[in-house]
Amino acid sequence: MIIRPETEADIPAIDRINLDPGLLHDGPLPMSDLHERIATSFQAQGLMATLGAELTLVSEGEVHIALPFSERISQQHGYVHAGAITSILDSACGYAALTKAPSGCEVVTVEFKINLLRPAIGDRFLAIGRVQNAGRSLTVCTGEVQAFSADGDTPKVVALMQATIANLRP
């Protein structure tokens, strides 16, 4: 016989994967500390400097990373390589997840999926990562990369991501 659960508390659930009971009552860090912590972490990412990326916004549940065009990040047709677009969007989603993580936690990307909607043509790209659901140990983010041209046209969305990020004890 199948017992239909009455409430979430009756059943095993993704959002009750348990890292450390001690962490559960701490809540996320104050945003000012978080901004500093994320900026410090960003500066420690060798790849972001190599690509020329810049952290431009940290708010609760949303992080932005900008990337100017350069030939150093191109693919064979001269526009930006999907790998560079993916790199800044992965970092933006990861740091967005960190703004919602229990204090003391690190985050690590478990997996993501990205659709490349059109060629990444532009003078500047902006990756936006947003938290959609923050559980105890897993956070789901969505993100997009917008391409800006020199002539000030409306930016175009060139990529969409859906990502899973894990909270880890330090």
Q: How far is the CB of 61 from a second copy (least distance, A)?
A: 15
Residue number with CB closer to a second copy (30 or 44): 44
Q: How far is the CB of 146 from a second copy (least distance, A)?
A: 13
Report the alpha-carbon distance of residue 101 to residue 90 in Å, rounded. 16
Structure tokens belonging to residue 14: 């993704």
Give the binding range for a second copy (CB under 8 A) out of 28-36, 45-53, 55-63: 45-53
Q: Is 111 exposed, middle or buried (0-12, 13-18, 19+ CB in 10 A)?
A: exposed
3-state SS assignment for residue 79: coil
Residues 60-79 close enough to bind a second copy by CB under 8 A: 69-79
Does position 57 interact with a second copy (CB under 8 A)? The reply is no
Does position 160 interact with a second copy (CB under 8 A)? The reply is yes
Report the alpha-carbon distance of residue 24 to residue 21 in Å, rounded. 5
